[in-house]
Structure 1
Amino acid sequence: MTDTRIARQFLVLTFVIAYGFSCGLIFAARFGYEVNNVVTTAPEFLANVPFSIYILSPAIASYVVLRANRRVSGLWEWLRMIFAARGRAAGYLFAISVLAVYFSLHLVVSGPSLHMLPWYMFFLSLPGNLIIGGMEEAGWMTALQPELDRRWGFVTSSLVVGVIWLLWHVPLFFIPGTNHESGLIDFWMFAVQIMAFRVLYGAIFRLSGGNGVFLCILSHTVFNAASFTLGIPPTSWAGTLAANAAVVLLALTSLMLSRRFGARLRWQVSR
């Protein structure tokens, strides 16, 4: 089975699940459905299950496709692959540093948000943001971007996956109850952020080694939790351009320096 065929199978299954459930949710909105950001009752939890399946579609498709093509023997091996935490310390340092620069620039350029929450909300929101956000990388960084990178290289694969990732997010702007649909997030600023962070996650993966998938999951989770706590969705063009330009510049510079000093830059998704 070729790498690109696995990527195609993954894409088809991801979008069948994602668009199937999201279209159902958009239709259900005509009858009063909306995503519940604060779940306090069993009915509210059950109402969020279809939305969670949409968000988890990349992870679900990754397991199904990799299992079908014997890249993993079962769920336990797949979980061990995506949550392998041991690896180069440089990967952790790079991910933390870039996220710190991103949020610092956003706050400096755009100014503090009126929607900023108490600091402890960052930690309380981590579990939810792991499921609704972080686990996306269990799909994109196992069955798609690594496969395309082997054939097209880092820059092209990052841009292609960025466009795919943006298309995958489009239904969020039509599902009631999401920050995207409520107008808190501008679509075009969000698109800039999506493309920049696809480059970043690709760089994190390359610089990390065996724990690349885990670091991308962790970075995505931390990013969503910090955005929620600091209250800085992409609504300011100045902050969006400055912060995301810095992300891309740091990612590309780190990769070039790593090549110069002889680091081994290969996609290393465990089989």
Structure 2
Amino acid sequence: MTDTRIAWQFTALTFAIAYGISGALIVAARFGYEVNNVVTTVPEFLANVPFAIYILSPAIASYLVLKRSRKVSGLGQWLKLVFFAKGRPLGYLLVISALVLYFALHLVVSGPSLLALPWFMFVLSLPGNLIIGGMEEAGWMTALQPELDRRWGFAVSSLMVGFIWLLWHIPLFFLPGTNHEAGVINFWMFAVQIMAFRFLYGAIYTVSRRNAVFLCILCHTAFNAASFTFGFPPTTWAGTIVANAAVVALAVGVVTVSGRQAGNSSRGVPAAAL
């Protein structure tokens, strides 16, 4: 199976799962269903399993498509691909720098949030944000962005995956019980954030391909946990534009420098260690 075919089959299956589940939940909302606050006799954990399947749809589709195409032999090999952590220090430095830059600029431009929680909530929320958020990258970064990057390059593939990622999120704005549907998150500000961070994940893939999936999962998980703790959903245009523009500039700058160093190395000029 060609890489392009894998990408399109993955995308089609991801949306079939995500839109099928979320569509059913939106209908169920008319009968009292609400994410994280279910008014039924069913335990809340069990009632939210369908929502978790929607969120995990990229990971589920990735495993099924990669196994069918014989890119992985089974779940164990897929998990090794997803959680392979050893790679260039630059990848980890990029993740940390982007997160610090984003939240520092939001704090400076938007000011402290009244929704901020104690710092230890960041640690406590990491496991939940790994499942509901971070594991999305186990799909996008194994079966979509790498395939598109090989054909279109960093910038175009980042834009394409960003647009697909935004479409995948749309049902959240119609599911009662989510911050998106409740109006806490503005759709257009959220769209800016989505596109900016897709450039960041594209840059991570460019500079540290061996462990790019793990790094993106780590970044996505930490970002969601920090947003939850600091109370910084994208609610002000000033903070949104400044913080996300800085993330894009960092991503593009790192990719540009990395490309120049690769070019120097290919011509026999020693590149600086990163």
TM-score range, shorter chain: over 0.9
User: 1:228 — aligned with what?
Assistant: 228
Distance 1:242 1:27 in 2: 38
Question: 1:7-156 alignment to 2 at 5 Å?
Answer: 7-36=7-36, 43-156=43-156
Distance 1:94 1:65 in 2: 30
1:37 to 1:243, Cα distance in 2 relative to 1, 3 A: farther
Q: Deviations over 1:228-250 (max 9, x none)?
A: 00001001000000000000000
Deviation, 1:260, is: 1.5
User: 1:250 — aligned with what?
Assistant: 250
Distance 2:148 2:45 in 1: 37
Q: Deviations over 1:106-138 (max 9, x none)?
A: 010000000000000000000000000000000
- Give the partner amino acid of 2:85: A
Which is worse superposed, 212-221 or 253-262? 253-262
Distance 2:37 2:242 in 1: 29
Structure of greater Rg? 2
Distance 1:93 1:160 in 2: 25
User: 1:239 — aligned with what?
Assistant: 239
User: 2:272 — aligned with what?
Assistant: none
Give the secondary structure class of the aligned counterpart of 2:43.
helix
Deviation, 1:209, is: 2.9
- Give the partner amino acid of 2:19: Y
The percent of aligned pairs where both chains have the same amino acid is 74
- Give the partner amino acid of 1:151: R
* RMSD value, Cα: 1.4
Distance 2:37 2:159 in 1: 31
User: 1:4 — aligned with what?
Assistant: 4
- Give the partner amino acid of 2:99: L
Distance 2:205 2:105 in 1: 23
User: 1:202 — aligned with what?
Assistant: 202
Deviation, 1:198, is: 0.4
Q: Deviations over 1:120-168 (max 9, x none)?
A: 0000000000000000000000000100111111111100110000000
Give the secondary structure class of the aligned counterpart of 1:182.
coil
Q: How many corresponding residue pairs? A: 262
Question: 1:139-178 alignment to 2 at 5 Å?
Answer: 139-178=139-178
1:136 to 1:170, Cα distance in 2 relative to 1, 3 A: same
1:186 and 2:186 correspond:
yes
Distance 2:183 2:154 in 1: 33
Alignment check: 8 A CA contact 2:66 2:143 kept: yes
Give the secondary structure class of the aligned counterpart of 2:84.
coil
Alignment check: 8 A CA contact 2:154 2:206 kept: no
Alignment check: 8 A CA contact 2:21 2:53 kept: yes
Deviation, 1:37, is: 6.9
Distance 1:173 1:33 in 2: 15
Give the secondary structure class of the aligned counterpart of 1:262.
helix
Give the secondary structure class of the aligned counterpart of 2:210.
coil
Distance 2:209 2:145 in 1: 15
Deviation, 1:94, is: 1.1
- Moved beyond 3 Å, runs of 4+: none
Distance 2:196 2:165 in 1: 11
- Give the partner amino acid of 1:35: V
Q: Deviations over 1:73-106 (max 9, x none)?
A: 0000000000001111111011101110000000
Deviation, 1:22, is: 0.2
User: 1:261 — aligned with what?
Assistant: 261
TM-score, reference length from structure 2 = 0.93
Task: Give unmatched runs, 5+ long, in structure 2.
Answer: 266-274
Distance 2:85 2:206 in 1: 15
1:37 to 1:99, Cα distance in 2 relative to 1, 3 A: farther
User: 1:268 — aligned with what?
Assistant: none
- Give the partner amino acid of 1:12: A
Distance 1:151 1:211 in 2: 20
Distance 1:255 1:42 in 2: 49
Deviation, 1:42, is: 7.3
